[in-house]
Structure 1
Amino acid sequence: MSQIHFTIDFEKLKDTVMDSELNEVVKSSLVLILNEYMEKERDQYIQAESYQRSAARQDYRNGYYERELLMPNGRILLKVPRTRSGKFATDVFERYARCDRALLLSMLEMVINGVSTRKVTKIVEELCGESASRSMVSNLTKKLDPIVGEWASRPLNTIYYPYIYVDAMYIKVREHKRVVSKAVYTAIGVNEKNKREVIGFKVDHNESEPSWHDFFSSLKARGLQSPKLLISDAHSGLKLAIQKSFIGTSWQRCTVHMLRNMIQTMPKKTSKEARNELKAIFQSRKLEEAKRQKDQFIDKYEGKKAYQKAVDVLDEGFDDATQYFAEPEEYHVSLRTTNMLERMNSEIRRRERVIRIFPNEQSAFRLIGAVLMDYEETLDLGNRTFLKKQI
């Protein structure tokens, strides 16, 4: 690439510096330098300096037009040279557009990390001396749409996911001048390399069998194969959708959710011993031991009114809650609960709490997708793996 050499009127620059505040000094200096640079760019393009006669001339000068450029210390007004043909274009705005891009990316990062729109506008004003309206920040976040959309629809047929965790949470969204509750479905897969990936998410009207089935269908349309084990809570619609969507897949009921459901039915003050006995069942190292402790619990508490619901839940759900015993022992602690998904959902909730109510469903999809993309980058960094040995 050819280089452009130019000189600056330092007497003019000195006068400007002496009569200006520091911020204005920087701005004035930039205006002088960039205007002179663009002038030399036009000379090079025309292949002739001002008033120079030359057989190599390519075009003729045609005055200037003014254009603003946003810099880290504020906006500056430049005189951009023109030519008669209109074909000359300076590369100053392309080169310094990275200042704009850096600012925009910083604003996006603030939004994704849960900084409110109102606070973002104040931060931008402090950094650049420029005001940024709330609508400007909101419109800026729309630049995430194609990025999130491409990530959310990427193919899943390039690697196999033996273990998949799914869950749903609820958010508030404005719809037809009303505030409604919507479900956010999320799925994390553990691939053949023992690395975790956020393989899908969806914003839908409610948590139901048809909605879960649609979510699973969208994953399969992207190439997802039936996993060995799918881990989730015991939502009735989710259970039916799993059975219909993934033939041959075992379902692991989250033991934390199941324990919570049982403990909530027991007396708070007098059930400490029973609570410890329940927890011990799912801390067993072997299935036979877990079955023995389960039978002992049922024999001990069956027929006691205060514990009957817990006995019924344990008896009915034990097999679904112990599917992880069919997998290598090293995996048990990681496969028996959805705690890992709960951690991810808390990250979504932390950002969502700042917004409180999403203006529409697309904005919810956009921000949650950006949060999930950001969160995925923190999973299993380097040579770390989620499970302790190769699948």
Structure 2
Amino acid sequence: MPIMAMRVETNPLEMAYAVLLEHGLEGAGEALRILVNEAAKIERSQFLGAAPYERSERRRDYANGYKPKTVLTRLGELTFQVPQVRCGDFYPSALEKGTRTDQAVHLALAEMYVQGVSTRRVIEVLQRLLGPEISLSTAQVSRAAARLDEGLAAWRERPLGEVPYLFLDARYEKVRLEGRIVDCAVLIAVGVDATGKRRVLGCTVATSEAEINWRRFLESLLARGLHGIKLIIADDHAGLKAARKAVFPSVPWQRCQFHLQQNAGQFVTRQEAKKHVAATLRAIFNAPDKAEAERLLKAALDTWRKEHPKLAEWAETAIPESLTVFDFPAAHRIRLRTTNGLERINRELRRRTRVASIFPNMDSCLRLVSALLAELDDEWMTGKVYLNLNP
């Protein structure tokens, strides 16, 4: 009679105990690795609605192996096995929380490498940041810096999917280029994906917002699999406008209402008149539907042609570009009519890049910006739904 192979189940808690008994506190890192790996496996089973090898009507997906992730923790570098699922919509909370230290290290490294800080000084700063008990060597810092650049490059080049709503914006940073200090454009793409969550899709640093630079950036998003765009929300910039028409010729464009309202002020000189024009624009933007918005706009243009002819000439073309949002669900309009959702990004970038003042090169600027945006993308990915796309 053939002998059946028996699967021997090991108890992770007993394994962790054994490591501590054999190695004492020096084995704390390995014990933590064992326990976190087991907690992640249990959480995956709960997410799937079924235990390994279990047949269940409650099952929502299937396990898809493991992916190693090395994290710089207070116990040193630890490599965990992150459980994967086929749909990719799962990440263990234990490691998610644990990456906060990892993110802090990466952001600190990015900022300090930008300023040419020595590895010894990096260690001192990280110990102040994470606690004096953290043990780091110069070799660890160098390896972490190398992994930082590799990881950020992988994040910028990761595959993309369906993104119904695409937001585009740019800001400028001072960079030393060929012996001169110039203002370089940081191009940023943010989207609302098919699940209704915001995601940072990509970023790049270019010498300007010229059409060629925007076009290369947009084409790189397409090459990574970006598709399903129903609306692009952006400000009015000649380079971006031309690139958008070339790369996404059939996708509607929503001009940012906030910036448009600011631009309107330059065509009006008297302060009282500016307030009245601003109120009129708000009434147009807050109209219940497109027909009413167009009626209010027509009435405003009739008045402005007499009182503010330059404003009327500009508004006749500009304002209709900001009414595209009325063609989309009413529940989505408040989120789609401006690029103000990117203001948090710009504020945080401004706060962190102010430390560097002038970047020594474009690569150092891209490193810091990427580190900040990757952290924000993690927050959004694990956070609440931004837009309900299936009301």
Percent of residue pairs bearing the same amino acid type: 33
Map 1:247-266 onto structure 2 (within 5 A).
247-266=249-268
- Judge conservation of contact 1:330–1:389 (CA < 8 Å) in 2: no
Distance 2:388 2:251 in 1: 22
- Judge conservation of contact 1:185–1:202 (CA < 8 Å) in 2: yes
Give the corresponding residue for 1:288: 291
Give the corresponding residue for 2:168: 166
CA deviation profile, 1:233-262 (whole Å, cap 9, x unmatched)? 000111111111013101111111111100
Distance 1:97 1:331 in 2: 41
Distance 1:141 1:349 in 2: 23
Distance 1:316 1:297 in 2: 13
SS in 2 for 1:166: strand
1:390 matched to 2:358: no
Distance 2:270 2:309 in 1: 15
- Judge conservation of contact 2:103–2:375 (CA < 8 Å) in 1: no
Superposition CA RMSD, Å: 3.7
Distance 1:300 1:7 in 2: 83
Distance 1:105 1:330 in 2: 34
- Judge conservation of contact 2:168–2:233 (CA < 8 Å) in 1: yes
Give the corresponding residue for 1:146: 150
Give the corresponding residue for 1:346: 347
Give the corresponding residue for 1:88: none
- Judge conservation of contact 2:211–2:239 (CA < 8 Å) in 1: yes
Change (3 A) 1:368 1:284: same
Distance 1:100 1:317 in 2: 56
Q: TM-score, normalised to structure 2's length?
A: 0.67
Give the corresponding residue for 1:206: 208
SS in 2 for 1:193: coil
Structure having the higher Rg: 1
Unaligned ranges ≥5, structure 2 = 1-14, 28-71, 79-100
What letter corresponds to residue 151 of structure 1 in structure 2?
A: W
- Judge conservation of contact 1:114–1:350 (CA < 8 Å) in 2: no
Shift, 1:334, TM fit: 0.9
Map 1:1-391 onto structure 2 (within 5 A).
99-101=75-77, 107-111=105-109, 123-124=125-126, 128=132, 141-156=145-160, 159-225=161-227, 227-271=229-273, 272-304=275-307, 307-379=308-380, 381-382=382-383, 384-390=384-390
What letter corresponds to residue 176 of structure 1 in structure 2?
A: E
Change (3 A) 1:328 1:107: closer
Distance 2:288 2:188 in 1: 30
- Judge conservation of contact 1:155–1:222 (CA < 8 Å) in 2: yes
Give the corresponding residue for 1:13: none
Distance 1:288 1:258 in 2: 20
Shift, 1:282, TM fit: 0.6
Shift, 1:310, TM fit: 2.2
- Judge conservation of contact 2:195–2:389 (CA < 8 Å) in 1: no
- Judge conservation of contact 2:230–2:252 (CA < 8 Å) in 1: yes
What letter corresponds to residue 248 of structure 2 in structure 1?
A: F
What letter corresponds to residue 358 of structure 1 in structure 2?
A: F
Distance 2:172 2:377 in 1: 21
Distance 1:7 1:169 in 2: 52
